[in-house]
């Protein structure tokens, strides 16, 4: 795919591409915006280097793609509540987002996408991994695809089984500054069922819709769900479905949350990392 407004360089065979020649601090022309949108649909996650963005400029770019999806459990910046600061301090030992997941998959209408902007990085490490859920679906046998039709997952936003059912607050307490950012979700519904195989609303392609928030299949017990669920969680992140992005200050990643999972690699204890995330509203998966 070639674009008029910029150059695009893929970073792996599975997904992910760097977009060169755009300054995101200024409003994009209609053509450039449409081509960025196209590049996202084509590559699933796109990366911009050497950006210099205020929270307001990052929000303006995000709003071209839709309304802002607020995290039910995590507070944003005091002066920009739509911007979530993801911080690991030097003394922290827990990393936010260090499991394969889909952002806010536990909500009724999970995010369409997210934009993550690098403010401060460790000297080495702190990469983010992404996985292509179209490829993961396509690689299944026809028998498995048939069996998964109509299966729904049950996802929760807190007290995950893999963390022993602890609350978010307790998970971060004493090991991550993110403990200070946890909030009560109020009346937002944070436990939801979604189709395991979803059809992307823009490309029409089928993708597995699965991640760390999924606890079991809807209408089944934990024990009944575990064997197939564990198989699928491992299958979806096979190395050949993934890419790895190495950040530099000023990098911005924009991923399509409807057909990817991602994982923040926590391999930099002793160093500080600060990112600003803006998440865009999505629709009900079908």
Point out the residues that are catalytic.
Answer: 101, 103, 262, 277
One-character DSSP codes across 149-207: TT-EEEEESSS-GGGTT--HHHHHTTT-GGGGGB---TT---EEEEESEEE-TTT--EE
Smallest gap from residue 214 Cβ to ligand SIN (A) = 16
Task: Count Cβ atoms below 10 Å from residue 9 Cβ, excluding itself.
Answer: 10
Smaller CB separation from ligand SIN, 176 or 225: 176
Per the listing, tokens 């998959």 go with 105
What residue ranges bind ligand SIN (CB under 6 A)? Answer: 86, 96-97, 103, 114, 116, 128, 262, 264, 275, 277
Taking the complex as a whole, the smallest distance from the CB of residue 257 to ligand SIN amounts, in Å, to: 9
User: Taking a C-beta distance cutoff of 8 angstroms, is the pair 217, 154 a contact?
Assistant: yes
Query: Do residues 259 and 130 touch, judged by C-beta distance below 8 A?
Result: no
Using the minimum distance from each CB to ligand SIN, give the nearer residue, 258 or 262: 262
Q: Is the CB of 206 or the CB of 273 nearer to ligand SIN?
A: 273
Closest contact distance (angstroms) between CB of 204 and ligand SIN is: 26
Sequence-separated (6 or more) residues with CB below 8 Å from residue 226: 216
CB of 114 to ligand SIN, least distance (A): 6
- Nearest residue to ligand SIN on Cβ basis: 97
State which residue, 102 or 140, has the beta carbon closest to ligand SIN: 102
Ramachandran angles phi, psi of 189, nearest 5°: -75, 115
Q: Could you give the angle at the alpha carbon of 93 between the alpha carbons of 87 and 99, nearest 5°?
A: 75
Q: How far apart are CA 195 and CA 211, in angstroms?
A: 12
């Amino acid at each position: 795919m070639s674009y008029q407004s910029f150059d695009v360089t893929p970073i792996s065979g599975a997904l992910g591409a760097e977009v060169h020649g755009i300054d995101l601090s200024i409003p994009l022309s209609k053509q450039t915006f449409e081509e960025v949108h196209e590049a996202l649909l084509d590559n699933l996650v796109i990366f911009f280097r050497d950006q210099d963005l205020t929270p307001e400029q990052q929000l303006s770019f995000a709003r071209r793609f839709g309304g802002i999806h607020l995290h039910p459990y995590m507070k944003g910046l005091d002066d920009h509540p739509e911007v979530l600061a993801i911080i690991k301090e030097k003394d922290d030992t827990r990393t936010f987002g260090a499991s394969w997941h889909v952002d806010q998959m536990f909500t009724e209408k999970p995010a369409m996408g997210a934009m993550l902007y690098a403010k401060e990085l460790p000297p080495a490490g702190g990469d983010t991994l992404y996985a292509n859920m179209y490829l993961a679906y396509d690689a299944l046998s026809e028998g498995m695809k048939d069996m998964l039709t109509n299966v729904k997952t049950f996802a929760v936003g807190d007290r995950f089984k893999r963390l022993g059912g602890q609350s978010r607050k307790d998970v971060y307490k004493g090991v991550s500054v993110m403990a200070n950012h946890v909030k009560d979700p109020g009346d937002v519904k944070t436990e939801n069922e979604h189709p395991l195989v979803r059809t992307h609303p823009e490309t029409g392609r089928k993708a597995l819709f699965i991640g760390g928030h999924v606890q079991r299949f809807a209408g089944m017990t934990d024990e009944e769900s575990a064997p197939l669920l564990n198989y699928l969680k491992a299958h979806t992140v096979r190395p050949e479905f993934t890419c790895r992005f190495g950040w530099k200050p000023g990098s911005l990643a924009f991923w399509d949350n409807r057909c990817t999972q991602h994982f923040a690699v926590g391999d930099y204890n002793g160093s500080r990392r600060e990112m600003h995330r803006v998440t865009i509203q999505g629709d009900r998966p079908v």
